[in-house]
Amino acid sequence: MFQRTLWVSLTQVFRSIALVLLPTSFLALLAWATAGSSSANTSDPMRAALWIWLGAHHIPFHVELPPAGQSGLMTYLPIGALLLPFFAIRSSFSRVTDEIEVGEHALPPARIIFSTLYAGIATLLAWVSSTNGVQPIIYFVPVVTGIGAWLVTSTVRPRSRRRLNESTEIAKRVIALGMGFASLALGISLFSNLSAVQNLATVLQPGFLGGILLFLINLAYLPNAIVATLAYFAGPGFAVGAHTLVSPWSYSADQIPALPILGAMPASRHPLVLICSILFVAMGAVLYNWTISQDSRTLVGSYLRILFMVAGISLLASGSLLTPAMSAVGVSVWKLTLAIGLELGVGIVLAMGLPRLLALGGKR
């Protein structure tokens, strides 16, 4: 049974890698062929495809920037790209469970085998793709890919256990409310600042194929922008470089990267936007109402899970973008988590206390 599980898991690990790596290899080869370079060789697009594949897993890179050889880190990676390995791993592990008919008791060992094989192959690919100029940070690879593969495979459950913990379900709904509001606000901002978006795209002059690639990059970074929008309305704001801050109460960003999606950024401070933090307070009241019919452990569990999810999303939506001037991009993990926690907490306290105060006032 172990040998069969090992063999099927290995073949499906290769399948999940190929599902993402082959399309990115095609795009990298096409971009390399159209760009042209007198010093390039055919191994360059293959390495680029591996870097894209690793970047889709949020593996950080150490980069030596020409011509001076200035070192930098690439840790601000697109959240949207995570969907590619997510669906590839989930689809492949579902095949593992179908082929060997894994029962509920055998799922954890199968996940361990699959995740270990995936992490091992990812580490090997990271080592093979390393160059003097671009180096995936190797010790991150087995940790990130191993834990990530384990988390993704945990979403594959027997039909009898499809329902998640109640606190987790409620936390997901609250996070979805916040992200939905931020998405709507970002969409309105993009459409109201189309001229700025077009100007940023024009500056790059990407051409036809470059325009397609630029669109895909902006699409992949769209969830990062949504998280930044969430942080803006919650109060802490976000950064677009070292010593910068874009928030309702402060604006210090003289220059921004030439990424068209950043055209949705506000151009100055808008203190009145802080009124929108009431929405997060209202979400705390909604959280209390969703758990009022259950015990207090469900409320506390949901609240703590929300903070954990916010911290995780914030970590994915922050990092460094190559140069020292762009060493801080995205949201602050602790500031956004603290702000959301306080605002939700105020909403919970108000939802618990107001009805009692009104009842006491009515008796008098």
- The pLDDT tens digits for 218-230 are 999 999 999 999 9
Give the pair of three-digit tokens for residue 47.
Answer: 């390495």
Question: What are the b/e assignments for 59-90, b being 16+ CB within 10 Å?
Answer: bbbbbeeeeeeeebbbbbbbbbbbebbbebbb
Q: How confident is the model at residue 1 (pLDDT cuts 50, 70, 90)?
A: low
In this predicted structure, what is the pLDDT of residue 54? 96
| Mean of pLDDT over the chain | 87
- Are 320 and 326 within 8 A, CB to CB? yes
The residue among 316 and 33 whose pLDDT is bigger is: 316
Edge-to-edge strands, sheet with 239-240: 239-240, 329-330, 318-319
CA proximity to 335, closest of 231, 240, 214: 231
Q: Which amino acid is at 187?
A: G
pLDDT in tens, 289-313: 998 878 788 999 999 999 999 999 9
SS3 142: helix
Read off the pLDDT of each residue in 32-61 and give the average, rounded to a whole number: 82
- Are 117 and 32 within 8 A, CB to CB? no
> Which of these ranges, 67-76, 165-174, 188-197, has the smallest mean pLDDT?
67-76
Please report which residue ranges of 193-249 form alpha helices under DSSP H.
Answer: 194-204, 207-220, 222-234
Q: In angstroms, rounded to a whole number, what is the distance separating the alpha carbons of residues 97 and 330?
A: 38
In this predicted structure, what is the pLDDT of residue 144? 96
Over pLDDT 90: what percentage of the chain? 54
The pTM for the full model equals: 0.91
Q: How confident is the model at residue 38 (pLDDT cuts 50, 70, 90)?
A: low
Give the CA-trace dihedral at 81, 85, 90, 93, to 10 degrees.
180
Q: Is 90 exceeded by the pLDDT of residue 340?
A: yes
- What is the rounded end-to-end Cα distance, in angstroms, of the chain? 73
Q: Is 70 exceeded by the pLDDT of residue 35?
A: no
pLDDT in tens, 263-293: 888 888 888 888 988 999 999 999 999 988 7
The residue among 8 and 355 whose pLDDT is bigger is: 8
Read off the pLDDT of each residue in 158-177 and give the average, rounded to a whole number: 79
Helix %, strand %, coil % of the chain (to 5): 70, 5, 20
In this predicted structure, what is the pLDDT of residue 303? 95
The residue among 11 and 68 whose pLDDT is bigger is: 11
Task: Determine phi and psi for 253, rounding to 5 degrees.
Answer: -150, 95
In this predicted structure, what is the pLDDT of residue 305? 95
In this predicted structure, what is the pLDDT of residue 302? 94
Q: In angstroms, rounded to a whole number, what is the distance separating the alpha carbons of residues 360 and 352?
A: 13
Q: Which amino acid is at 38?
A: S
